[in-house]
Chain A
Amino acid sequence: MTLNTLRAVLFLVFSVAVSNFGFAVQDNDDQDKEFNAKEMIMHHVKDGHEFHIVDWNNEPITIPLPIILFTDNGLTTFMSSAFHHDDSGVNIVEKNGERFVKYHEKIYQLNAGVDALAFDDEHHPTNAVLPLDFSITKNVFMMWVSVLVLLLIFISSARKYKKSNRFVPSGIASFMEPLVIFIRDEVAIPMIGEHKYRKYMPFLLSVFFFIWINNIFGLIPILNGANVSGNIAFTLSLALFTFVITLFSGNKNYWKHIFWMPGVPVPMKIFLMPIEIIGMFVKPFSLTIRLFANITAGHIIILSLMSLVFIFKSEFIAPVSVGFSLFIMIIEIVVVAIQAYIFTVLSALYIGTATAEDNH
């Protein structure tokens, strides 16, 4: 009896724990549906159209999010709850005479006169088109939450300075100030230089804290691990900012080094030009991939370790799973800060090379 009770309790505890991690653990009575670790992990690390919190009594509890689509006929909006948690393309939503289905977190517009998705051999729908999807997905939603938190933290920090007449930080400001000073003294000044760093401080600070807070939110299980900073679209956007800022702050010296490298023979100049031009684009690309890969990898490791419980169908593997996840989680806490720092340092470095004076 004791062993069975223990099993039941353990299973319950870990079911809840793992379902918090962002996937629907099917009820253990539901033996016919096999647990698919890959599907669960991908569901977690990818973007989604609704905010899934937990499954309760086999019913998913979600926050519905607005779906915004640009079809040939213009703008169409409705709430994601219209799909009734369906992700297999069965549930059809009809709006303004257009019919939509959600299949693997993509919204398809069914062709006229079609009632169900048809697939080719590679499971790609053949009788539907993908409208431009500007939906407020769970990543956009979490991003906005993080923006709100950032604004709250830093605007209230800024207020603390106004209140104190000697510019002494207090409260939250005294916690944030060392970080701000760290970015200034360890990132901006060494990378960009004493005279020009001021102009780039707002960008560096914003990008550092924006990435960091999204990384941290990604680690909090109950937030359903919206994997914002582990999404390549997000990292690409931030890298684009760095790229554009680098382009616009590039001085004569920078462009000369790209198109006509000084101090080398002419054939070498011609040889170096394409390399330097490719380098211009590789830099933001590396920023994109580095952040995306690091954060996504961390999520995948933790989720894989958690999945072990369900793959082995044994609660005795749970302590091992939890132990390892905890270990990785602690490493991740360090990694998320380091990745935010690296993104900021490299952005500063790229800006620094673009603004450096000729000192040969």
Chain B
Amino acid sequence: MDLITPGFGLVFWSLITFFFLLVILKKFAWKPILGAIDERENGIKNALEAADKARMEMENLKADNERILNEARAEREAMMKEAREIKNKMVSDAKEEAQEQANKMIAQAQEAIANEKRSAMAELKNHVASLSIEIAEKVVREELSNKGKQLELVESMLSDAKLN
């Protein structure tokens, strides 16, 4: 039957037509279209990758910042602690020194007072002694002005001496 017998002419024209269609479309249509699609898909892929990378970098940066901030905070804490310690130490040192100084001063003062007291006492003693001697001189002078009294004294002295 005609229907299922391929006509020679149509086979010929079909082969030629399709061959040229293939060649022309390949060069002028499929190559640019597929190229553009590929290019675009690569572009999208690259852009997504770049975005991912940027996000990761951002996260790294953020983590870094966080770390640096924490470090700084810790350092500040440490510095403040140290400063507080130094302050405390300085205060206590100063207190100690002041106490010492005060004690020393008190001791010196006490010593000075004692010395003064001692010298005052010595002076007083000397004064009292000279006064007593003067008085005694005057008394003796008075006593010895008559002979009887002189003898009496010698005798009493001699009696005292015997006792010794």
A interface residues with partner B (beta carbon < 8 Å): 42, 45-47, 68, 104-106, 132-137, 139-140, 143-144, 147, 150-151, 154-155, 157-158, 161-162, 166-169, 173, 176-177, 180-181, 184, 198, 201-203, 205-207, 210, 231-234, 236-238, 240-241, 292, 296
B106 within 8 A of partner (CB) = no
Interface centre among A137, A144, A233 (most CB of B within 10 A): A233
Task: Please indicate the chain B residues that have their CB under 8 angstroms from the CB of A137 in the complex.
Answer: 7, 9-10
- With A and B bound together, what is the CA distance between A234 and B7 in angstroms? 9
B30-38, B56-64, B71-79, B89-97 - the one binding chain A = B30-38
Pair A181/B37 contact, Cβ less than 8 Å: yes
Task: Report if A205-B14 is in contact (Cβ < 8 Å); known contacts: A132-B9, A137-B9, A151-B25.
Answer: no
Partner of B14, one of A154, A234, A292: A234
A162 to B13 alpha-carbon distance, docked (Å): 33
Q: Which residues of A have CB within 8 Å of B5?
A: 232
Q: Are the C-beta atoms of B37 and A180 separated by less than 8 Å?
A: yes
User: Taking the nearest CB of chain A, how far is it from the CB of B8, in angstroms?
Assistant: 7
In the complex, A315 Cα to B5 Cα: how many Å? 36
Closest to A205 in B: B30
Closest 7 pairs between A and B when the two form their complex, measured CB to CB: A237-B14, A154-B29, A233-B10, A161-B36, A233-B6, A202-B26, A167-B40
A132 to B8 alpha-carbon distance, docked (Å): 8
Q: Which residues of A contact B39 (CB under 8 A)?
A: 167
Which residue from A45, A147, A237, A296 sits with its C-beta under 8 Å from B11? A237
Other than A201-B30, A210-B18, A233-B8, give 7 A-B pairs with Cβ distance below 8 A.
A46-B2, A47-B7, A203-B22, A205-B25, A233-B7, A234-B10, A241-B22
Among A176, A202, A292, find the residue whose CB has the most chain B CB atoms closer than 10 A: A202
B8 x A144 contact (CB < 8 A): no
CB <8 Å contact, A296 and B18: no
Q: Which residues of chain A come closer than 8 Å to B3, judged between CB atoms?
A: 42, 45-46, 232, 296
B30, A177: Cβ atoms closer than 8 Å: no
A42 to B3, CA, bound (A): 8
> Bound state CA distance, A206 and B13, in angstroms?
16
Partner of A236, one of B11, B17, B21: B11
- Asked whether A231 lies within 8 Å of B10 as measured between CB atoms, the reply is yes
Q: How many A-B residue pairs have CB under 8 A?
A: 134
For the complex, is B133 an interface residue (Cβ under 8 Å from A)? Answer: no
A-B contact pairs, 23 of them (CB 8 A): A47-B7, A134-B12, A134-B13, A136-B13, A147-B21, A150-B21, A151-B29, A154-B33, A158-B31, A161-B32, A161-B33, A167-B37, A206-B18, A231-B6, A232-B5, A233-B7, A233-B9, A234-B10, A236-B6, A237-B14, A238-B18, A241-B18, A296-B3
**A4 nearest CB across to chain B (Å):** 41
Contacts of A236 in B (CB 8 A): 6, 11, 14
A202 and B22 in contact, given A135-B9, A231-B10 (Cβ under 8 angstroms): yes
Q: Is the CB of B153 closer than 8 A to any CB of chain A?
A: no
Cα A232 to Cα B53 in complex, Å, equals: 57
Given A202-B26, A206-B22 in contact, is the A158-B7 Cβ separation under 8 Å? no
Q: Roughly how many angstroms separate A201 CA and B22 CA in the complex, as a whole number?
A: 11
Give chain A nearest CB distance to B21 CB in angstroms.
5
Q: Is the CB of B37 within 8 A of A237?
A: no
Expressed in whole angstroms, the Cα–Cα distance for A86 and B5 within the complex equals: 23
Contact A133 B9 (CB under 8 A): yes
Cβ contacts under 8 Å, B12 to chain A: 134
For B1, the closest partner residue in chain A by CB is: A42
Known interface pairs A134-B12, A144-B17, A162-B32; A202-B25 also in contact (CB < 8 Å): yes
CA distance A341 to B68 in the complex (A): 62
**Known pairs A133-B8, A151-B24, A210-B21; A167 contacts B13 (CB<8 A):** no
